[in-house]
Amino acid sequence: MSSLTHFDSQGQAHMVDVAAKPATHRVAVASGRIEMLATTLALIESGSAKKGDVLGIARIAGIQAAKKTSDLIPLCHPLALTRVAVAFAVASGGVPYVACTATVETVGPTGVEMEALTAVQVALLTIYDMCKAVDRGMTITDVRLLEKHGGKSGSFTAPVVHPPAGL
């Protein structure tokens, strides 16, 4: 593994200079989930939550978050994103949950992993916000980078993690 790139030779934090890096097609996919009570998932699926279409609003929040990542993470470069897709899947067996996957793309000199991870986190936080009146015990978990492609470091695909029994 190489050294940390956000520190200079004196150990001071700095923004990485990407001016000399070629613009390539970059893609990152991240995922996570929010566990909840079965009754909360039923509200989400039926569309009867008091605040409206939970997953629709969470999708928009995730897209917005990807676009604003450099405003939230101090050393991220602002990027011209070419695509942000946020998708959800629900699971009611075992511990009920909503899974979120974000795919982010750009053509540029730096990757979009942080944008994909931020999209997932904010989408899941939006679900929490919209449903907290009925379920304050929801848990956001398993947020991680699944894959990334493009750039000097090439591709990365995370190892498959199997959910615990009962999920």
What amino acid positions are annotated as catalytic residues?
129
Give the Å distances, CA to CA, from 155 to 60, 77, 150.
Answer: 28, 20, 6
Residue 160 to residue 8: CA distance in whole angstroms:
34
Residues whose CB falls within 8 Å of the CB of residue 57, separated by 6 or more in sequence, listed in order = 51, 126, 130
Strand partners, 13: 7
